[in-house]
Amino acid sequence: MSGLLNVKVGAVDLKSPLILASGTCNFGHELSEYYDLSILGGLSSKGLTIKPRVGNEGVRVAETAAGMLNSVGLQNPGVDYFIEHDLDYMRGLGCACIVNVAGHSYDDYMAMAQKLDPYKDKIDALEVNLSCPNVKAGCMNIGTDPEQIKSIVSSMKEITSLPLWIKLTPNVTDIKATALAAQEGGGDAVVLINTLLGMAVDIKSRRPILHNNTGGYSGPAVKPVAIRMVSECYRILDIPIIGCGGISTYEDVLEFMIAGAAAVEIGTASLIHPGCPVDITADLEKWCEDSGESLSSLTGTLKLW
Amino acid sequence: MKKEYSCKIEQVQHIHEDTVYITIGCQQIADNAVPGQFVNMSCSYFLKRPFGIASVNKDKGTFDIGVKIVGKGTADIASFSAGQTVNVLGPLGNGFDLSSSDKFILVAGGTGVFPINFAHEILAQRGVRHVVVEGFRNKEQITMCSPEYVLTTDDGSAGIHGNCCTGLDTLIESEIEGATVLCVGPLPMMKAVGAWATGNGLKCYVSMEQRMACGIGICLVCVCKVKAEEQGQEFNHVRCCKDGPVFPYEEVVW
């Protein structure tokens, strides 16, 4: 069945539309104990920063209906440690190696591009995290402002020739404005969406369950929001879209692709069923066989009323 | 390759008003689990729930967990009945190293009695010398206690009046000398037991707990603090599920 699942995200060829979403697969070591990650289109690393981060204190997770809130706070070993210890491992997984980069400021993003550009033979794309809601500076604070998005993306393009996938936040009034800014800055693709900012309250203590007060909402509950944003952006963008948000079945993948996604990311579903991409892959192959269609031909076939 | 198992619940025993003891069929988990490890088990809610393994039966291909109702997920699981199917990941995490010593002191509080029971069973099978100290709030809470254990209750309604450390103080020199302490229970109790062990020159291992999601080390939500002076920082966040749940007492930032 090889071939039917092939998709392209700009110049990047993927053998499957399934990419593991940043922050839900670490650097691949743990999930490799459950299945051969070479079945995937790619894996996006845990969000990396110039310096190591210990992340947020206290309770970091709250269960919700059909989803969860997290406030990990970009805990990561730092980009130097990643280059030394994890990059070669990720490269060797047999799927596209996507490195997720985050920062507190414009300068941080430039420093990350400089750090990683020398390793472009091992990296397929940088996923620029302008959307993490769990840190006090940078990320979502930058990613809600089209001017800053455009400025950061265009400056990173001058530093590195690596494809830049811009991961955007849904916590904006108009996703089209931020997506267009990513395109105008020279972004090679947009990833829609990161988590929705949310809160859960402990009714006994009358305090937020998360010690960060707020967290990022993910899981099947956010899927309709993500699909809507993919659809809105597909109609105005020239660059490809990677859909992300609540995907846990092959039907979810098809839905995202029909709405306009060239590829998709699986996130929270891995936390519930670590082996779910194996089942989704088999189901997608069967769907292609039965329908006689290739997945890549599905992108953007949505017919609006 | 590791996998998620679809398992049949063999038996549910209601051992207390708020606690059930569940036997689940899974040959692979029965064969591979070591004391201190846990399983992450599905319920009617979004996330799985983690439980320390209380016992295994390799012949029957079953393992046991103890579930105390502390929220809606555990209440849901406590309502399960024999014959029902659950999805289980496990065995997960790093268990106790039972080869590290020829003498142990096992200390359990609350639901810590379940993983400590598994450690006791394995040590008994191997003929390794050990004593068990259990602490409960009152006699109504007593679970998985044997007449040969040192029993303490906070209100004195059964056994020794006091906490686990009061119980530890009743041990004789030959039980203490050269022993390794394994402790599972609420944080303040593990901290006190670790201090007692250190005061007696003994190595102590504790089992850390935190709100968990994946159970396999990919989401980084269930962290606890360990000392990281060598890395030039006050502490580091490590994953209870993957780096633990068992940690040496002296490495934990209490």
| Residues of chain A contacting residue B235, judged by C-beta atoms under 8 Å apart | 54
Half-sphere exposure of B243 (CA within 13 A, CB side): 20
Clarify whether residues B87 and B166 are in a common domain.
Answer: no
With CA atoms as reference, the chain B residue closest to A66 would be B46
pLDDT tens, A268-296?
Answer: 999 999 999 999 999 999 999 999 999 99
A66 vs B89: CB contact, 8 Å cut-off?
no
Dump the DSSP string for B198-216: HHTT-EEEEE-----SSSS
Residue B68 lies in a domain: yes
pLDDT band at A1 (very low <50, low <70, confident <90, very high): very low
In a domain, B59, yes or no: yes
User: Please, which pLDDT band fits residue B9 given cuts at 50, 70 and 90?
Assistant: very high
Which residues of A fall within a CB distance of 8 Å from B86?
none
Q: Could you tell me the two tokens for B121?
A: 């069973």
Q: What is the pLDDT of residue A2?
A: 59
Residues in chain A: 305
Residue A11 is assigned to a structural domain of this protein: yes
Known active-site residue A97: no
Asked if residue A208 belongs to a domain, the reply is no
Number of domains in chain A: 1
With a pLDDT cut of 70, the percent of chain A lying above it is 98
Residue A284, in any domain of the structure: yes
Q: Decide if B46 touches A, using CB distance below 8 A.
A: yes
CB A199 within 8 A of CB A208: yes
**CB–CB contact A68 B48 (8 Å):** no
pLDDT for B15 beyond 80: yes
Give the pLDDT confidence of A21-75 residue by residue, as tens digits. Answer: 999 999 999 999 999 999 999 999 999 999 999 999 999 999 999 999 999 999 9
pLDDT confidence of A125, banded at 50, 70, 90?
very high
Taking contacts as CB-CB distances below 8 angstroms, the residues of chain B near A68 are 46-47, 213
Residues B73 and B159 in one domain: no
> Are B40 and B115 within one domain?
no
Please check whether residue A65 touches B, CB under 8 A: yes
User: Given a cut of 90, is residue A141 above it in pLDDT?
Assistant: no
Tell me the C-alpha distance between B209 and B241, whole Å: 8
Residue B64 sits in the same domain as residue B124: no
DSSP 8-class letter at B84 = -
What percent of chain B has a predicted confidence (pLDDT) above 90? 93
Q: Do B217 and B165 belong to one domain? A: no
Could you read off the pLDDT of B50-60 as tens digits, one per residue?
999 999 999 99
DSSP A45: P
* Chain B residues lying within 8 Å of A266, measured CB to CB: none
Count CB neighbours of A4 within 10 A. 18
Residues of A16-43 as b/e, b for ≥16 C-beta within 10 angstroms?
Answer: bbbbbbbbbbbbbbbbbebbebebbbbb
- B217 and B179 in a single domain? The answer is no
Q: Are residues B200 and B246 in the same domain?
A: no
- Shortest Cα distance, chain A CAs vs residue B245, angstroms: 16
Spot the catalytic one: A25, A95, A97, A132. Answer: A132
Write the ipTM: 0.94
Rounded mean pLDDT, B86-111: 96
Give the span between the Cα atoms of A166 and B195, in whole angstroms. 50
Residues B225 and B154 in one domain: no
Please check whether residue B216 touches A, CB under 8 A.
yes
Chain A contact for B71, CB < 8 A? no
Question: Confidence class of residue A168 from pLDDT cuts 50, 70 and 90?
Answer: very high
Nearest to A58 by CA among A203, A215, A204: A215
Retrieve residue A48's tokens.
């990396």
Which CATH number belongs to the domain containing residue A138 in this structure? 3.20.20.70
The structural domain count of chain B equals 3
Average pLDDT over residues A122-126: 98
Domain that holds residue B32: 4-92
Under an 8 A CB cutoff, do B47 and A66 touch?
Answer: no
pTM of the model: 0.95
Long-range (24+ apart) CB contacts under 8 A made by A196-205 are A196/A133, A196/A170, A196/A171, A196/A222, A196/A225, A197/A133, A197/A140, A197/A171, A198/A64, A198/A69, A199/A69, A200/A62, A200/A64, A200/A69
Rounded Cα–Cα distance for residues B139 and B153 (Å): 7
